[in-house]
Structure 1
Amino acid sequence: MWEEPDEIAHCYMVPSMTNTLYKQLESYKIAKVILDKLEDMFRGQAMLAQQSAITTLMNAQQKARHFGQRPYVNYTTLCFAPYGDHWRNLRRLSTIDIFSSTRLNMSLDIHRDEVSHLLRRLYQVFADGFAKVELKSLFSELTFNIIMRMMVGKQYFDDEATQNSDEGRRFQEMIKELFELAVSSYPGDFLPILQLVDYNGYIKRIKDLASITDELTQGMIDEHRSNKGDLNIKNTMITHLLSMQESQPEYCTEEIIKGLIQVILNAGTDTTAITLERAMSNLLNNPHVLEKARAELDKLVDQEKLVEEADVAKLPYLQRAMTT
């Protein structure tokens, strides 16, 4: 029985520190010493809470050792890099040089163009009457095209871009494989002896994925280097990072550039497409909400133009509908 309510909070506090400890400390021994120092907080429940925290910490460390090292360039990305000077440098690069307002505003024309392209494709489908449309693939291609044009200045999915589409499929397959590996449970994390025989081929799949990822990202970088000065890639993310590499080679290495490409692709494509699909599904399943959102658009946005990001601020009902 618990003697004080605070003891329950203390019991959950240390396990919740696991992720912080993992990022900041590289040694199990240091982490365990810190947890031991907190024994007074737990009183009679100290051992159980500490064992839970240590077990979770070891499982996270073991998973990251296999998964974080290979596809993510030896822990050099924002996802897997330990907290320190390198991680702060990555955050600075991301905040100031990639996701700053100035850099994002430079890509607004890309957003408009890709959304218009999607609407034209939908119009062609509906030209002869109502038809079923699989939105997930369309949204995936939309988000993928926007991100790739921002990074490399090239559209991968278009009615006429067959060659680029083949390369785009390779990228999408890579992202799909990454997510499957990331969410799957690996028995070797719990029974280390299974790692000796690579149970279920998990480690081999990670190594294969790492090779494919490195090949694709290095190809993008090499293409930019060979086409240096081309106006079509003047404002792309890779061009900007390569110019930084010339002036700050120690802060913008080849591994860092490849890692940033991987993180943006993996974090920005399927996640955004799924969010759009879910939002559309909710609107279609609640026609009264859809009707009110449409009425707000007709009232506050000129019907002769597409809705742009700047218009969202004056559409409170649409914002609430998208976030609930």
Structure 2
Amino acid sequence: MELVGAFLIEWMTLSTLLIPVILISLIVFSTFRKFNPACGGTTRELPPRPFTAYPIVGSLLQLMFADKAPHRFVEDLLVKYGPIILIKVGHRRQVFVGSSELSRECLEAHDAIFASRPKRASSRYLSFGNDDLANVAYGDQWLFLRRIYTDELLSPKKGPLFAKIRSEELSLFVRSIMKQQRGNNPIYVNLRKRIVEITLNIISMMVMSARSFPYADINVTNKAFGRVYSEREIDEMRTRGPDWREYSSQLTTLFTTPLMEDTIPVLGFVDSLSGKRHKMKRAKRRLVELYKEVIENHKQKREKHPATETDFNFLDTLLAMPGPNDEPNLSEDTIMGLLQSTVATGSLSTSATIEWALAHLLKYPHCMKRCYEEMDTVVGRRRCVEEADIPNLPYLRAVVKETFRLTPTGPLLLPHFTTSDCKIGEYDIPAKTAVSFHVWAIGRNALTTPNPLTFDPERFLNSPIDIRGQHFELFPFGAGRRCCPAIDLSMAIVQFTLARLIQSFTWSLIGDMTPEKLDMREVFGMMITRLKPLEANAIPRLSPDLF
């Protein structure tokens, strides 16, 4: 209720300032239409517009009083008005695409036109501008950043080392949960909290050879790098991990906070009055402090313990790499921007996907049972499941695909931005239009997906549909030039973590909770997360000696 109250107060304040502007706009618009009947006419065939667009404010008034979360609200509009719609928000045009056929046309036939990103004030305040791989405009800088990302972090030569890291971290993770058991009693697990921790640990180990969170028995040899953690490093983890988690939580909220500066620039001062701009700048300052601390600690560590060939990580590469235009080193903003794309943003979507997958399995016990049966048949209980087993676990892989279909963590993906006019289907899309692909609505389309609201992994068994941007029935990582470059890395973490958790524990809901009562509502943000954190009881299925 406190959040709802704060939201209402914020919009009431905003409405007080907007109502005079809207009234003036209506008067001007009505008068202009009266004396110019041709007003609003155009030779272009634009997509259907659910709302009247008034001067200055566009359709902002209708959006202000929407009674649903943005992805749900737009989904309803797509069902009512067709697979593509246009909404004018202030001075900006925003197109939503809700069909696989039109998405394919945009991101295959016209990929170059849709390859850029719109400029957003929230990105300027919270990220690192031209050094943010996800939001930078298409061009030389984007190519430079993507090349660093793919050639260094995602290089095939890193594959074996990263696989060892994932295996070791998950073994320690499972062991730390098992150590909490008292007698034969079930172990209570706050799955959201623990999944965020393991995801951050895996990614931060790959990026900078340092965990973000300590385990109960952290002072053990690191098999991937062959060393033991010092007490100082353990203390760093105890402070760094909560900081990462806190920033990740802020990030999901602030990145999707609407700013008047983006829609009606002349009213940008409203963002200052409402405190939004201050919150974003304060979060950015804390983020910069956190990254600088991580980088400085890493430099000091390398002075005492120079990197070996197997220990040379992504952060080492960034610190040693020359910058563009013959600069001796990458700028600090470039390094921090790449760290943000990898550690903060990457861990958010990955951990949310794992939590959703487990929630669906707990909601549908017959699906969980089939996962157990497949795991016992293919792997058994005398050894731990490894990444090499994943291709032989088709039902588990189908569970992950079905999770991406029913609850994609990025329901609208990051918006694209047209650089020139083009035609999609029968409609004209002007240049400088923001375009969002509604993968949530596409996956839940009753015309193309039988029983779309039912979690049914079997629909993907023996199916050629993949998630790598080639099949537009399911493209949660995007497609075309701006497709997420870390698809394989993210899928490896999601599938392997889910496999270890399923093999290692029998999971059940806590207290008197039943599958029918399990709350599956979501919260809209930069990533779609569950309204309520997932909690469960765990009973070990494997011997602790295996870990």
Q: TM-score, normalised by structure 1?
A: 0.76
Q: What is the letter of the counterpart of residue 130 of structure 2?
A: Y
Q: Deviations over 1:51-99 (max 9, x none)?
A: 6796236xxx9x8452222332233211221111111111111111111
d(CA) in 2 for partners of 1:250, 1:13:
52
3-state SS in 2 of match to 1:157: coil
- CA distance in 2 between counterparts of 1:251 and 1:205 reads 32
In structure 1, the partner of 2:283 is: 209
State the match for 1:278 in structure 2: 356
- The SS at the match of 1:56 is strand
Which residue in the other structure is 1:17 paired with?
A: none
Number of the residue aligned with 2:246: 173
What is the percentage of aligned positions where both structures have the same residue? 24
Instruction: Choose from 79, 86, 89 the match for 2:144.
Output: 89
Alignment of 1:25-174 (within 5 A): 55-56=92-93, 64-128=119-183, 129-158=185-214, 159=216, 161-174=234-247
- Does residue 1:11 correspond to 2:66, yes or no? no
Query: What secondary structure sits across from 1:154 in the alignment?
Result: coil
* Residue of 267, 274, 290 corresponding to 1:200: 274
How many residue pairs end up in the alignment? 280
Determine the structure 2 residue equivalent to 1:322: 400
Which of 290, 302, 312 does residue 228 from structure 1 map onto?
A: 302
Higher helix share: 1
Structure 1 residues 312, 212: CA separation in 2 closer, same or farther (over 3 Å shift)? same
Distance 1:51 1:277 in 2: 35
Aligned-pair Cα RMSD in Å: 3.1
By how many angstroms is 1:174 displaced? 1.5
Retained in 2: the 8 A contact 1:150–1:237?
A: yes
- 1:218-268, CA deviations, whole angstroms, 9 ceiling, x for partnerless residues? 222222333336257832210122222389746843321111001112322
141-150 or 250-259, which moves further after superposition?
250-259
The answer to whether residue 341 in structure 2 is matched with residue 263 in structure 1 is yes
- Compared with structure 1, are the counterparts of its residues 210 and 306 closer, same or farther at alpha carbon in structure 2 (3 Å cutoff)? same
Partner of 1:183, secondary structure, is coil
SS at match of 1:132: strand
Compared with structure 1, are the counterparts of its residues 71 and 184 closer, same or farther at alpha carbon in structure 2 (3 Å cutoff)?
closer
1: CA distance between counterparts of 2:202 and 2:331? 25
Cα pair 1:187 1:199 within 8 Å, conserved? no
* Alignment partner of 1:312 out of 362, 367, 390: 390
CA contact (8 A) 1:156 1:168 kept: yes
Distance in structure 2 (CA, Å) of the matches to 1:241 and 1:75: 16
Q: Which range moved further: 65-74 or 110-119?
A: 65-74
Separation in structure 2 between the aligned mates of residue 251 and residue 12 of structure 1, nearest angstrom:
47
Give me the whole-angstrom Cα distance separating, in 1, the residues matched to 2:258 and 2:188.
Answer: 36
Over 3 Å counting, the alpha-carbon distance change for 1:13 and 1:232 in structure 2 is farther
C-alpha contact 1:69 1:75 (8 A) present in aligned 2: no
2:315 is aligned with 1:242: no
Q: 2 CA distance for matches of 1:55 and 1:313?
A: 45
| Structure with the larger RCO, 1 or 2 (CA within 8 Å, 6+ apart) | 2
Q: 8 Å contact 1:68–1:74 — kept in the other structure?
A: yes
Letter in 1 for 2:189: V
Q: Distance in 2 between matches of 1:251 and 1:235?
A: 17
Deviation for aligned residue 1:302: 4.6
Contact 1:11 1:49 (8 Å CA) reproduced: yes
Measure, in 2, the Cα distance between the counterparts of 1:107 and 1:175. 23
| SS of corresponding position for 1:133 | strand
88-97 or 100-109, larger mean C-alpha shift: 100-109
Counterpart of 2:199, as a letter, is: T
1:155 aligned counterpart, secondary structure: coil
Displacement of 1:136 in angstroms is 0.5
**For the Cα contact (< 8 Å) 2:362–2:368, is it kept in 1?**
yes
Q: Contact (CA 8 Å) 1:89, 1:251: kept in 2 or not? A: no
Amino acid across the alignment from 2:247: M
Distance 1:295 1:13, change over 3 A: same
Relative to its length, the structure with more strand (as a share) is 2
* Partner amino acid, structure 2, of 1:235: F
Q: Distance in 2 between matches of 1:168 and 1:93?
A: 26
Q: Distance in 1 between matches of 2:90 and 2:278?
A: 29
- Partner of residue 39, structure 1: none
Call closer, same or farther: CA 1:13–1:308 in 2, change over 3 Å.
farther
Provide the C-alpha distance between the structure 2 equivalents of 1:71 and 1:189, rounded to a whole number of angstroms: 14
Q: Distance in 1 between matches of 2:393 and 2:354?
A: 17
